[in-house]
Amino acid sequence: MSNKPYRLAQGGSRIDRTKKLHFSFDGKQLNGFAGDTLASAVMANGTKLFGRSFKYHRPRGVVGLGSEEMNALVGVGDGSRHEPNLRATQVELFDGLQAVSQNRWPSLAFDVSSLNSSFSRFIPGGFYYKTYMWPQRFWKHVYEPIIRKAAGLGHAPEGRDPDSYENIHVHCDVLVVGGGVAGLAAAESAAATGARVVVADENPQFGGVADISAGTLDSMPQATWIAEKVAALAAAENVRLLPRATVVGHWHHNYLMLFERVADHDPALLREGAPRHRLWKVRAKQVILATGAIERPIAFANNDRPGIMLASAARAMVERYGVSPGVEGVVFTNNDDAYQTALVLKGAGIGVRVVDSRGRAEGALVEKARAAGIDVAVSSVVSAVEGNLGVTAVRVAAYRKGQGRVITERKISCDFIAMSGGFNPALHLWCHNGGKIKFDDGLQSFRPDRHQDAIIAVGAANGTFGLADIIAEASAAGETVGKRKTKSAKIKLPKAEEDLQKPLEALWFAPATGKYNEGNKHFIDFQNDVTVADLELAQREGYESVEHTKRYTTFGMATDQGKTSNLNGLGVLSEATGKSIPEIGVTTFRPPYTPFSFGSIAGVLTKNLFLPIRRTPIYQWHADRNATFEPVGQWRRAYTYTGPGEDKHASINREILAVRHKVGLLDASTLGKIEIKGPDAAEFLDRMYTNMFSTLKVGKCRYGLMMNELGFLTDDGVTVRLGEDHFLMHTTSGGADRIAAWLEEWLQTEWTHYKVFVTPVTEQWAQFAIAGPRARNVLAKLGADFDLSHDGFPHMSFKEGKLGGYPVRVYRISFSGEQSYEVATPSNMGRGLWNAILDAGKELGIEPYGTEALHVLRAEKGFIVIGDETDGTTTPIDVGLEGLVSKKKADFIGKRSLEQSYLKGPNRKQLVGLLTEEPTDVLPDGAYAVRAVKDKPPMEMIGQVTSSYHSPTLERSIAMALIQNGRARMGETLSFPIEGGKVIRAKIVDPVFYDKEGARQNV
């Protein structure tokens, strides 16, 4: 015990004394052994102080055994690999591990904010609601910044996470949660039926607390039996054992999330490229919860001092890690189980005595303890603790249940305390999805009752603590629920022997003398510094519901989510109000069981995999030509191609003028394409579009508008009649999937008698627009096997054939107002045809153009874009397309809504064109016109700009806008107050700015 004062000379089932590891804690270089946790290794070095509490910054040490730890939270790793708030009890030691304590400044032992503790009397639960209100602006500028500075525990990492994560799905017949005695027994019998079984345990080793529990199975120590079972289950074909895997939540229909820490314990794995965490999404036919029980602390004055641990944790320190929690200890208990700890301590040569709150202590374990010479004081409580950074002594007082405070105390020197207030079945997962629970008087705790899902609890999780009972119950559960295959499963149950335990007696609060009682120091929720007095205060102030008390005091809201505090809190509330614990009720258990990383949720879906980008067949060409891309839905479309020495403005203008004066080429592959066929196809389209399609001639194209049932525009596009009963519909790029689904929905759910098939074919085709006065020349140059003449192939008609040898469908439609052909070829040939067109067009001055040029071109023509001129509250009539709303058809989607009074009413905003008084002024997109300009807002708004561009064709700005009664106000000049106090004035004009007669497209 020389330089490792607390490492015992012998013992430590988990550590390998031949493998020494180096690590640091707060910069101090320390040693430990393979198999240590950070908690055991630091304690072995004689340090009990691990961190500071949230509010009062009280010094804190290790309390728990594993995931229930609420005090010893540390940060591990540095820089972008730092991870805050880890429980030292769960951190497996590796060589080179760097850990830091948290929530302290400048150092752990001397923390300035621990002054909070001296002020604690002035800052009881909920104090902030009562103060910090004056003067009003001080909250934002003074008080809150101070509070925020103090907020939080650890600090976030810096920079982007260098590690990887992933998700995986698995279906199983049985998911066993928890690999203790109960879980393994259940898994064994379930596996024997041939069922597919997954067994998950949050710890690196299976066995739960078996290794620190005294009973035997078939005369073997429990740990030996466990080792046998683990080996057999690992060898089985139908079983997956998952260590370091916490089942974090249970959702509807037995969906569970399982958080596996793949590589946290071994940096070598990370270096090799293993994911750090893996999230398993498990769908289980049956869930068996064997999650064990969590030991309860006891609320006594200063029960939070470093060196005060749960009895099971103290035992584990000795047995698993060969670490002594101290030199001289006191076991404070209300039950028999903790006597095992006393015996273990004694056996390791550590000083120990027992303080038992019960009037009588007479179980077999108690007798063993007495026989071993351990001093047992019954009807006694630890009433207070002395010491600050550690325990120096306890005060022990005579105790009778129901007593508010004690009078006489005696002092006992010691340097650690092992406490046990009983055990709470770990009900979290049982309750996540609505499982019902009931209060068990024997346990003085809740245990599972009913559940709507196929889920069953066994072992300590079910409130069953006798070893023989656990085995029998778990094995039976595994057998019945595992039955999927026909294999019969007869498992021979091991014979369990253990000391019979006598019942515990509830102890929620150990009274002290006045001085200690009234100083706010009986901690219930350690991490959030919630004391018995805080809970009582909440009651006094009317925050009666347990949910109010929780929120007013924050009890149960820390990172341990009240694993060790919730029930104790209820016990205190019960005593304060005279209501029973079940009457008080529990707060809601919510996922996760223990916190799990956001990275594991995202999995590989980060960076380029976060969400897909859709590429057209020409994508790479665009990229190579330095195109700026514009997202349209998930697609990326070329926005403009900036050449050397150009800015975007210049390239857009160049592209526009090329289309107006020569010829341009646009990748329009993203346009939605849907084949629609059947004897009722025409009638069906009449229902879907506002305008008529049954009258369309074969080989012809027609522009159509679609509304939703509310009467608002949702999509538009050109539909072609390929045959009498066969149509090809084009939709907007963003609308393709939505419209295909929309058509299917109506066919399947409303007009079920229609004989119509709908097949989306968007991606079968690469599609390009060749537009401009020389478009036809390009086609001719390429060589077409169909008539290209204007009469033979007029505007709004369709041809199928070969172009430059490529199979094509060609639509003579125009969104630019120029002579224009849309050419579609199978996608794999897209790139070939694209290049061929560019080659053929070279001498004609062909230029590829992007979506921005397209938008300006169409705006010059007054064509609308769904999503620009419409915003989901715009009707076809609003945008001046009344002519496309059929008066003849009795019914089509959205027709009836157009009749609702508001949609027919006065003052609707109507689409108009705008010409600014100053031709170089380009109205900002979305700018509003006001009825009258005022010195300052508010000003009444009468409509907004929907599209606005500089038109290189007209060499001035143009805009479209939706303006109240706009069509009646032609010629009126409107004012648009824009940012910076400027007002732009613009005249209302017809929205078609260029080639009003449409002559250019018709040649």
Partner 1 sequence: MSELYVESPLAHREVPQGLSIELREITDRGMIDVRGHATDKKFMAAAKKVLGLDLPKAPRTSVSWGDVKALWLSIDQWLILCSRAKALELTAALKAELGNIHSLVVDVSDMRAVLRLEGEGVREVLLKGSSLDLLDEDYAPGTVRRMRYAEIAALLHVVEETVFDVYVFRSYADYAWDFILATARAPAKVTLFGAQATPK
Partner 2 sequence: MLVVHCPVCGAEGDETDFHGGGQAHVRRPATHDPANVSDEAQRDYLFIRHNPKGLHFERWRCDRGCGKWFHAARDTVTMEFKAFYGISELPPREVMEQATGEWATYFKDRLKAEAKS
Partner 3 sequence: MKSRYSIFSLARNAMNYHKDWERAWRSPQPKAEYDAVIVGAGGHGLATAYYLAKNHKMTNIAILEKGWLGGGNTGRNTTIIRSNYLQDSSIAIYELARSLYEGLSQELNYNVMFSPRGVLMLCQTEHELRAFKRTAHANRLAGLDCRMVSPAEVKEIVPIINDDSNCRYPVLGAYYQPRGGTARHDAVAWGYARGADALGVDIIQNCEVTGITREGGKVVGLETSRGSIKTKKVGVVTAGNVSTLMQTAGVRMPIESLCLQALVSEPIKPVIDCVVMANTVHGYISQSDKGELVIGGGTDPYNNYSQRGSFPSLEHTVTALVETFPIISRLRMLRMWGGIVDMTGDRSPIISKTDVEGLYVNCGWGTGGFKAIPGSGYVFADTIAHDRPHAIAEPFGLNRFAEGRLIDESVAAAVAH
Ligand X SMILES: Cc1cc2nc3c(=O)[nH]c(=O)nc-3n(C[C@H](O)[C@H](O)[C@H](O)COP(=O)(O)O)c2cc1C
Ligand Y SMILES: NC(=O)c1ccc[n+]([C@@H]2O[C@H](COP(=O)([O-])OP(=O)(O)OC[C@H]3O[C@@H](n4cnc5c(N)ncnc54)[C@H](O)[C@@H]3O)[C@@H](O)[C@H]2O)c1
For residue 486, state whether it binds partner 1 (rule: CB under 8 A).
no
Nearer to ligand X, 152 or 442 (CB): 152
Report in angstroms the alpha-carbon separations of 382 from 301, 399, 419, 928.
8, 9, 10, 74
Instruction: Specify the 3-state DSSP secondary structure of 393.
Output: strand
The tokens for 873 are 């509250």
In this structure, which amino acid lies at residue 284? Answer: A
Tokens 């200063």 found at? 302
Tokens 């956001």 found at? 598
Closest CA to 942 of 904, 902, 919, 912: 912
For residue 694, state whether it binds partner 2 (rule: CB under 8 A).
no
Nearer to partner 3, 534 or 686 (CB): 534
For residue 150, state whether it binds ligand X (rule: CB under 6 A).
no
Nearer to ligand X, 82 or 548 (CB): 548
29 binding partner (options partner 3, ligand Y, ligand X, none; Cβ < 5 to 8 Å by kind): none
Strands 455-457 and 445-448 come out as unpaired
Q: Which stretch binds partner 1 (CB under 8 A): 5-13, 149-157, 606-614, 970-978?
A: 606-614
CB of 289 to ligand Y, least distance (A): 8
Q: How far apart are CA 845 and CA 838, in angstroms?
A: 9
Instruction: Specify the 3-state DSSP secondary structure of 980.
Output: helix
Phi, psi (rounded to 5 degrees) for 382? -80, 115
Task: Return the bridge partners of 257, or none.
Answer: 249, 281
Of 408, 588, 694, 748, the residue at the interface with ligand X (CB under 6 A) is 588
Q: How far apart are CA 208 and CA 229, in angstroms?
A: 13
Nearer to partner 1, 127 or 757 (CB): 757
First vs last C-alpha separation in the chain:
101
CB of 206 to ligand Y, least distance (A): 7
158 binding partner (options partner 3, partner 1, partner 2, none; Cβ < 5 to 8 Å by kind): partner 3
What secondary structure letter does DSSP report for 371?
A: H
Task: Return the bridge partners of 630, or none.
Answer: 637
Closest CA to 168 of 285, 284, 281: 281
Of 400, 590, 625, 790, the residue at the interface with ligand X (CB under 6 A) is 590
H helix runs in 842-895, sequence order = 851-860
Are the beta carbons of 246 and 257 closer than 8 angstroms?
Answer: no
For residue 679, state whether it binds partner 1 (rule: CB under 8 A).
yes
8 binding partner (options partner 1, ligand X, ligand Y, none; Cβ < 5 to 8 Å by kind): none
In this structure, which amino acid lies at residue 461? Answer: A
Q: How far apart are CA 684 and CA 754, in angstroms?
A: 7
Q: Which stretch binds partner 1 (CB under 8 A): 142-150, 230-238, 961-969, 971-979?
A: 230-238
Cα 762 to chain centroid distance, Å, stands at 33
Nearer to ligand Y, 502 or 661 (CB): 502
For residue 267, state whether it binds partner 1 (rule: CB under 8 A).
no
Tokens 């040490």 found at? 61
Per-residue x/- track, 705-744, partner 2 (CB under 8 A): ----xx------------------------------x--x
CB of 216 to ligand Y, least distance (A): 10
Site for partner 1 in 814-843 (CB under 8 A): 826-832, 835
What secondary structure letter does DSSP report for 897?
A: G
Of 398, 557, 657, 692, the residue at the interface with ligand X (CB under 6 A) is 557
Instruction: Outline where DSSP puts E strands in 206-297.
Output: 216-217, 220-221, 239-242, 245-251, 255-261, 277-289, 293-295
CB of 161 to ligand X, least distance (A): 23
Of 78, 158, 440, 750, the residue at the interface with partner 2 (CB under 8 A) is 750
Nearer to ligand Y, 213 or 733 (CB): 213
Nearer to partner 3, 213 or 554 (CB): 554
160 binding partner (options ligand X, partner 3, partner 1, none; Cβ < 5 to 8 Å by kind): partner 3
Q: Which residues bind ligand Y (CB under 6 A)?
A: 66, 177-183, 200-203, 208-210, 213, 215, 222, 246-247, 290-293, 337, 423, 426, 429, 459-461, 465, 467, 470, 501, 593
Instruction: Outline where DSSP puts E strands in 620-760.
Output: 627-632, 635-641, 663-667, 672-677, 701-707, 713-723, 726-731, 757-760
Would you tell me which residues interact with partner 2 (CB under 8 A)? 251-253, 255, 281, 283, 434, 452, 709-710, 741, 744-745, 748-752, 890-891, 895-897, 899-901
Would you tell me which residues interact with partner 1 (CB under 8 A)? 164, 166-171, 196, 204-206, 230-231, 234-241, 243, 269, 272-275, 278, 281, 283, 603-605, 608-609, 611-617, 620, 634-635, 675, 677-679, 726, 755, 757, 759, 761-765, 783, 804-806, 826-832, 835
Would you tell me which residues interact with ligand X (CB under 6 A)? 557, 561, 587-588, 590
